[in-house]
Amino acid sequence: MRLRTIVMLTICVAMLVVPSTASALPSMPSSLFQTSAGCGCHTAFVDQWSVSMHAKALTDPIYLYELKLGEEATGGALGPFCNACHSPIGVMSGELTSLDHSKVSPGGMEGVTCDFCHQVSGTAGDVIGNTSTAVTGDGVKLGPIADPQPGPAHEATYSEFHRSAEFCGNCHNVNHPGNNMPLEATYTEWKNGPYAAEGVVCQDCHMTPGPGVIKPREGTAAAGGPVREHVPMMTFAGANVGLGDAARAEERLRSAATLDLRVPDIAEGGDVTIQTTITNSGAGHYLPTGLTDMRQMWLEVTATDADGTEILKERRDFGTVLKDAAGTYPVYLWDAVGVQSDDRIPPRESTSNEYSFPMAEGAVTVRAALYYRTCSEEVAKKAGVEIPTTTMAEVTKTVYSSPDEVGMTDKEFRASQDGTGGLLGLAITIVIFGFMAIAIVLMRVMMKKEA
């Protein structure tokens, strides 16, 4: 207990006396940034952004619940660090320091809002992460359009930085403010992976109509503007089904991984060995990513006999387990000094597992399913929200107990098909002969009239 107290005091002091690690944001008033209501020429983009987690970054109930715990544990030291990414305008203006939102301007309450991102000019400092963001505050809108045509509302200029992964990495890499250990490394995972080597950046997947690299996307950047070959969307689609854009989140999750299940066709008694293989086939970062001590991704494997009795049920979880200085785990991120375990799946890599079950009499149904949740049911309940479980991938196969069982099943199937086909053929034959008989009668009647 004494060691834990010393460690916590050290972390709290580090958070308080080293504010530069908490945020690299400059100080400037919120009046330099307009709210999304002022983006009238870009209503389609505002609509896309408004259902994203960027818009809800400060008001996300799960974030607020976890921040409250962290504030209590660190004596209020954690607030400025976390809020810098969740409401940069609120932090830069000094309106937001902790959980109190009463002094935060409308622009600050919009979380990661349009005018903040479009006044970002680069990375401040040598390390990408912990809101290492350079901001102009001059009102000129920066963006990825090579030849912007500003209207009367504001000036605009091209920004190569807005086409880079480093733009996203400013917030999507998070290091512990007390000991600098990585807590979220989405940018680093991408940087060290195959997508970065191929020149595929975050925007290519998360700001397009569907999962994967879907571009170019023809469209206009503003009402009345010229049609351009490619205009990014402001969806920032991620994996938060419960609070973000549910349809896009589910689509991303279901395209992120492939699941292979290998079982024998026939097993005549004894133990049956099966193998599962999960491949990170669609994400440019690890699966899962983000604050992975909270994210839940797990594989569930079951085997059920012909009577419906479950003879196998196994679960494997994928995530990060944090530990404190005493070696205790799992712990909250503010207590963490290291990683006890990390079994997540890197981009385009696979992980396999073997399971076994005693073969039953009759056929056995084997099912493997990969699931995802933004947080645990316990955390969601305490935060007062419902977070659904999403099935990312699933495969079902049958193991037969003998060759005769397989053969009988095939014969029964063919017989049923033959029986259906025979009845159908008989019906068709009757209809054809009926029409022929009617035709013959009509011909005879006509011939008699002519005679």
Judged against a pLDDT cut of 70, whether residue 438 lies above it is answered with no
Is 251 buried (19+), middle (13-18) or exposed (0-12) by CB count in 10 A? middle
Same domain, 212 and 255: no
Residue 260 lies in a domain: yes
Question: Residue 1's pLDDT is what?
Answer: 44
Residues 6+ apart with CB under 8 A from 191: 165, 169
What is the distance between the alpha carbons of residues 90 and 29, in angstroms, rounded to a whole number?
A: 9
Residue percentage of the chain with pLDDT more than 90:
80
Domain boundary, last residue among 190, 205, 237: 237
Question: Residue 442's pLDDT is what?
Answer: 56
Residue 408 lies in a domain: no
What is the distance between the alpha carbons of residues 264 and 242, in angstroms, rounded to a whole number?
A: 38
Residue 30 lies in a domain: yes
Same domain, 49 and 161: yes
Same domain, 108 and 225: yes
- Comparing 6-15, 190-199, 259-268, 373-382, the range with the smallest average pLDDT is 6-15
The CATH code of the domain that includes 376 is 2.60.40.10
Domain boundary, last residue among 204, 237, 270: 237
Place of tokens 């060759």: 403
Question: Residue 20's pLDDT is what?
Answer: 38
Residue 304 lies in a domain: yes
pLDDT band at 153 (very low <50, low <70, confident <90, very high): confident
pLDDT band at 444 (very low <50, low <70, confident <90, very high): low
Domain count across the chain: 3
For the segment 278-291, the average pLDDT, to the nearest whole number, is: 97
Judged against a pLDDT cut of 50, whether residue 8 lies above it is answered with no
Same domain, 158 and 46: yes
Print the domain residue range for 231: 2-237
Same domain, 13 and 117: yes
Question: Residue 143's pLDDT is what?
Answer: 97
Residue 242 lies in a domain: no
For the segment 53-60, the average pLDDT, to the nearest whole number, is: 98
Residue 358 lies in a domain: yes
Task: Please give the C-alpha separations between residue 280 and each of 110, 169, 193, 339, in angstroms, as whole numbers.
Answer: 33, 21, 12, 22
Same domain, 286 and 222: no
Task: Please give the C-alpha separations between residue 43 and each of 37, 162, 179, 203, in angstroms, as whole numbers.
Answer: 9, 20, 43, 20
What is the distance between the alpha carbons of residues 112 and 63, in angstroms, rounded to a whole number?
A: 14
Judged against a pLDDT cut of 50, whether residue 427 lies above it is answered with no
Same domain, 331 and 426: no
Judged against a pLDDT cut of 60, whether residue 273 lies above it is answered with yes
pLDDT band at 440 (very low <50, low <70, confident <90, very high): low
Judged against a pLDDT cut of 50, whether residue 270 lies above it is answered with yes
Same domain, 227 and 253: no
For residue range 19-53, what is the model confidence (pLDDT) as tens digits?
A: 434 457 999 999 999 999 999 999 999 999 999 99
Is 343 buried (19+), middle (13-18) or exposed (0-12) by CB count in 10 A? exposed
What is the distance between the alpha carbons of residues 273 and 358, in angstroms, rounded to a whole number?
A: 9
Judged against a pLDDT cut of 90, whether residue 3 lies above it is answered with no
Domain boundary, last residue among 174, 208, 237: 237
pLDDT band at 406 (very low <50, low <70, confident <90, very high): confident
Same domain, 216 and 173: yes
For the segment 302-309, the average pLDDT, to the nearest whole number, is: 97
Same domain, 303 and 342: yes
Maximum alpha-carbon separation in the chain: 121
What is the distance between the alpha carbons of residues 227 and 218, in angstroms, rounded to a whole number?
A: 7
Question: Residue 215's pLDDT is what?
Answer: 80
Same domain, 110 and 218: yes
What is the distance between the alpha carbons of residues 199 and 131, in angstroms, rounded to a whole number?
A: 23
Judged against a pLDDT cut of 50, whether residue 419 lies above it is answered with no
Residue 436 lies in a domain: yes
Centre a 10 Å sphere on the Cβ of residue 200 and count the other Cβ atoms it contains: 18
Residue 406 lies in a domain: no
Q: For the chain, what is the mean pLDDT?
A: 89
For residue range 202-229, what is the model confidence (pLDDT) as tens digits?
A: 999 999 998 887 788 999 999 989 999 9
Place of tokens 């000129």: 140
pLDDT band at 426 (very low <50, low <70, confident <90, very high): very low
Kindly report the three-state secondary structure assignment for every residue of 388-423: CCEEEEEEEEEEECCHHHHHHHHHHHHHHHHHHHHH
Residue count (the chain): 451
Same domain, 196 and 339: no
